[in-house]
Amino acid sequence: MRPLALYLRSRAVPATATAVLVCAVALWAIGLVVDHPQSRVLVALLAALAGTAALGQGLAGADHDLDRASAIAWPPRRAAHVIVAGAAVVGLLAATALVGEQMAGTGQIARNVAGLAGLVALGAAVVGADRAPLLPVIWTVLVLRYAPPMGEPPTRPTYKVMLTWMVQPIDTRAATVAAAILAVAGTLSYAVLGSRR
């Protein structure tokens, strides 16, 4: 049990859990005052973004050399870290529906968190854990900047649907495929490469 506690502390899990909990409480509080359906989905997306961005801090240990030179099999642990952390974010954000009106569907929250967590993991592998949240933040800002405000997201061509996956309805297959590709690619990249120095 002690090695697990040390691992969790070295990966800043208590601080990350606190940040995700704050996002969930904020989502619940905003849900009490926002009535417009599209605004509610946007708030749920921003809460998912904030919750997954908080995961970036824990994707690297204090000593990069120790992570790379250790005899421990890191790839399965790294993959499990991303998957469990993403599941925790989904669980906390979806739990807000238990104490208030649901902001967005659980499926949409899960899809968005999966894709955003994949982007954070990919960011850790490419630019390092400290800057890992930049990828999902930039992608989200660009989507929100160029998607129609409070309107319907693009339905054609397919590449636009895939690029705007986070604002698409849950029954949009191309958006779900895009989020799944990002989740798998990001998790595998981080599991194999670890966090960049």
Check residue 34 and give its pLDDT.
Answer: 73
Tens of pLDDT along 103-122?
Answer: 677 888 899 999 999 999 99
Q: Give pLDDT, residue 152.
A: 73
Each domain of the chain, given as residue ranges in start order, spans: 2-193
For the cut 60, the answer to whether the pLDDT of residue 66 exceeds it is: no
Quote the pTM value. Answer: 0.84
Q: How far is CA 110 from the centre of its chain?
A: 9
Rg of the chain over Cα atoms, rounded to whole angstroms, equals: 17
Which residues, 6+ apart, have CB-to-CB distance to 125 below 8 Å?
Answer: 186, 189, 190, 192, 193, 194, 195, 196
